[in-house]
Amino acid sequence: MKKLKTEELLEWDRSHLIHSMAAMGATRGIVFDSAEGVILRDTEGKEYIDSSAQMVNVNIGHGRKEVIEAIGEQLAKLQYTTTYWGFTNTATILCAKKLAEITPSGLKHFFFTSGGSEAVETAFKIARNYWHAKKPEKHKIISLYNSFHGVSFGTLSATSLGMGRLWKSYGPLVPGFLHIPSYYCYRCAFGLEYPGCRIKCADFLAETIENEGRESVAGFIAESVQGPMGMINPPPEYWPKVRQICSEMDVLLIADEVMSGFGRTGKLFAVEHWGVVPDIMTMAKGITSGYIPFGAVAINDEIYRELQSRQTPFSHGFTYSGHPVGAAAAIKDMEIIVGERLAENAARIGEYTLKRLQKDFLPIPCIGEVNGLGLMIGIEYVEDKKSKAIPKKVWEISQKIQDRALQDGLFLRVYGNRVTLSPPLIINQEQMDRILAILKPILAGIPEWF
């Protein structure tokens, strides 16, 4: 193929491509063309260090030949058959078996999807379906403020990222979804401080279930660590407490591990940090590290047996549920994550990064807080440390931070006033030092843009 000029490509992009979360026709003026490890390369040959693993999904890093070969071999053998109506194929069976080896105990039955939104949508349908024959009034789904669970109508109805920025133009949403304050300690909705708060945000779940009527609530969903909002990790007591509340109040607990799964937080799944097993767990992103779209929902034995006992078909499915090529990629991806102990590396580099951020970044006058779990790290900038005021021009400033980072060879994910670090889990200390060296002067210069 003749080498295309960057400007020509961008012109075609502006004419034909609709981008997510960008104005129509808006491009960043860069065309990525190749990548390897933690490095991205554009059509002009410029290199960027990928400090976000793109959409926090490229866990094993870019360009891994083993996964590319596994995909090629699967394509050469069987590119597609369906998993509808009890049909099956070798790769998808082996993928389910492999996944069962690494998911928390009790979560060993899987439905496969093409990504995270489909996985969460499926989780909601399973939760409602589970109660349908037993306690048909139980249908409400409770989720957290600042959460992100996807963009399809059901998942969007559970999402509250940016307090409605994502759903304002799409109403009315699906009935039966409601939100409660999240475990965002730095800006506690109850004005309390950890640990004196005694995890009021978890207790508020019990209050809400009681107020709504426990006979009406089907499930509670939360991200194990809030990701798209800018990486907010819960206090250690949070998940055990909501687990207890859900068990006692007959509400299904759904852990959204779409972003936090597959080694990202320093454990294979983030709920393992707190010894919690949810009833339903959603997964995507790191399951194939972005080499091909794939996702999964895990359900526990109790839900599985209840649905099985009905002797009726599970009336749900996507054409690409259990796609054999996705399955082959997932198997190889899981082998790499486990075999190369990438969760341990995420824990080690994450801890190192957090220490450096606390020492070198927190003293910067506009940095309000740094927090993280493994390689899900958030840095919050503020106009004033004492009042924690968010600059009025926050979205403009975030764009400027990203643009400056790109100029300096850093691909950076910023949401509102939270700058995040979530590189591929193969990153080493030297590469992280490079990221921090580029980032520090940019963040120190933020007040110029207030």
Question: Taking Cα atoms as reference points, which of 2, 28, 5, 9 lies closest to residue 412?
Answer: 28
Cβ–Cβ under 8 Å, residues 136 and 130 = no
Rounded CA-CA distance 336/350 in Å is 19
Q: Which of 98, 109, 140, 149 binds ligand PLP (CB under 6 A)?
A: 149
Contacts with 102 (C-beta within 8 Å, 6 or more apart), sequence order: 268, 334, 338
The CB-nearest residue to ligand PLP is 116
Rounded CA-CA distance 318/308 in Å is 20
How many C-beta atoms surround the C-beta of residue 28 within 10 A? 13
With CB under 6 A as the contact rule, which of the stretches 23-31, 146-154, 334-342, 396-404 interacts with ligand PLP?
146-154
Least distance in angstroms from the C-beta of 258 to ligand PLP: 4
Phi and psi angles of residue 135, each rounded to the nearest 5 degrees, phi first:
-140, 80
Whose Cβ is closer to ligand PLP: residue 115's or residue 230's? 115
Q: Which of 38, 258, 328, 425 binds ligand PLP (CB under 6 A)?
A: 258
Whose Cβ is closer to ligand PLP: residue 246's or residue 255's? 255
Whose Cβ is closer to ligand PLP: residue 144's or residue 251's? 144
Phi and psi angles of residue 302, each rounded to the nearest 5 degrees, phi first:
-60, -45
Q: Does 120 bind ligand PLP (CB under 6 A)?
A: yes
With CB under 6 A as the contact rule, which of the stretches 127-135, 142-150, 391-399, 407-415 interacts with ligand PLP?
142-150
Q: Which of 43, 117, 182, 353 binds ligand PLP (CB under 6 A)?
A: 117
Q: H/E element holding 308?
A: helix 301-309
Rounded CA-CA distance 399/397 in Å is 5
Q: Which residues is 34 bridged to in the sheet?
A: 41
Q: Does 422 bind ligand PLP (CB under 6 A)?
A: no
Q: Does 217 bind ligand PLP (CB under 6 A)?
A: no
Angle, CA 58 vertex, CA 337 and CA 333 arms, to 5°: 35
Rounded CA-CA distance 109/299 in Å is 5
Contacts with 385 (C-beta within 8 Å, 6 or more apart), sequence order: 365, 366, 367, 368
Q: Which of 116, 219, 368, 378 binds ligand PLP (CB under 6 A)?
A: 116
Whose Cβ is closer to ligand PLP: residue 54's or residue 402's? 54
Q: Which residues is 180 bridged to in the sheet?
A: 144
- The full length of the chain comes to 450
Cβ–Cβ under 8 Å, residues 330 and 99 = yes
Tokens of 19: 């981008």
Q: Does 115 bind ligand PLP (CB under 6 A)?
A: yes
How many C-beta atoms surround the C-beta of residue 64 within 10 A? 20
What is the contact mask toward ligand PLP in residues 58 to 97, using x (rule: CB under 6 A)?
----------------------------------------
Least distance in angstroms from the C-beta of 122 to ligand PLP: 11
Least distance in angstroms from the C-beta of 124 to ligand PLP: 12
What is the contact mask toward ligand PLP in residues 283 to 302, using x (rule: CB under 6 A)?
-x------------------
Whose Cβ is closer to ligand PLP: residue 43's or residue 224's? 224
Q: H/E element holding 42?
A: strand 39-42
With CB under 6 A as the contact rule, which of the stretches 203-211, 254-262, 305-313, 322-330 interacts with ligand PLP?
254-262
Least distance in angstroms from the C-beta of 56 to ligand PLP: 7
- Spell out a b/e string for 29-41, using b for 16 or more CB atoms within 10 Å of the CB, else e: ebbeeebebbbbe
With CB under 6 A as the contact rule, which of the stretches 114-122, 192-200, 366-374, 381-389 interacts with ligand PLP?
114-122
Whose Cβ is closer to ligand PLP: residue 364's or residue 376's? 376
Q: Does 353 bind ligand PLP (CB under 6 A)?
A: no
Q: Does 259 bind ligand PLP (CB under 6 A)?
A: yes
Count H helices and E strands in the chain, helices first. 13, 15
Q: Does 123 bind ligand PLP (CB under 6 A)?
A: no
How many chain residues bind ligand PLP (CB under 6 A)? 14
Q: Does 378 bind ligand PLP (CB under 6 A)?
A: no
Q: Which of 227, 261, 324, 374 binds ligand PLP (CB under 6 A)?
A: 227
Cβ–Cβ under 8 Å, residues 33 and 63 = no
DSSP 8-state code for residue 312: S
Least distance in angstroms from the C-beta of 114 to ligand PLP: 8
* Residues engaged in binding ligand PLP (CB under 6 A): 115-117, 120, 148-150, 223, 227-228, 256, 258-259, 284
